[in-house]
């Protein structure tokens, strides 16, 4: 079960990253203090958070809508798929929120733990 959970979570992350547009430039530098050695060097910008705020809001909306639907629906035929969608949206939302936490917190608590 543990390996299946890790595999499906990793697959979800890869899928979401492929679906969301990325504007991160992949410029790396071997020398961390490169701006002091070259006077014309521009400082390297910090990369944006791993998931967009709009994705977090969309997942939160799906999570809230399916939660309300489950509360109102009761014991009906569509309960299973709605539960599945609710738990999927909840897990992905919490992972995205965990991945956007400060780096110091992510060193202590891995984003997978938050989901």
Highest mean pLDDT among 3-12, 86-95, 106-115: 86-95
pTM: 0.57
* Relative orientation angle of helices 79-99 and 2-19, to the nearest 10 degrees: 70
Q: For residue range 24-70, list pLDDT tens digits in order.
A: 544 444 444 444 555 566 777 877 778 888 999 999 999 999 999 88
Contact 63, 108 (CB under 8 A): no
Task: Look at residue 86 and tell me whether its pLDDT is greater than 50.
Answer: yes
Contact 55, 96 (CB under 8 A): yes
């Amino acid at each position: 079960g543990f390996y299946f959970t890790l595999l499906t979570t990793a697959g979800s992350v890869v899928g979401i990253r492929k679906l969301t547009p990325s504007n991160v430039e992949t410029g790396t530098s071997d020398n961390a203090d490169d701006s002091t050695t070259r006077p014309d060097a521009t400082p390297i910008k910090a990369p944006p958070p791993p998931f967009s705020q709009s994705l977090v809001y969309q997942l939160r909306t799906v999570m809230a809508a399916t939660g309300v639907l489950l509360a109102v629906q009761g014991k009906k035929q569509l309960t299973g798929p709605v539960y599945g969608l609710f738990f999927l949206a909840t897990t992905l939302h919490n992972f995205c929120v965990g991945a956007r936490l400060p780096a110091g917190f992510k060193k202590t608590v891995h984003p997978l733990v938050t989901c």
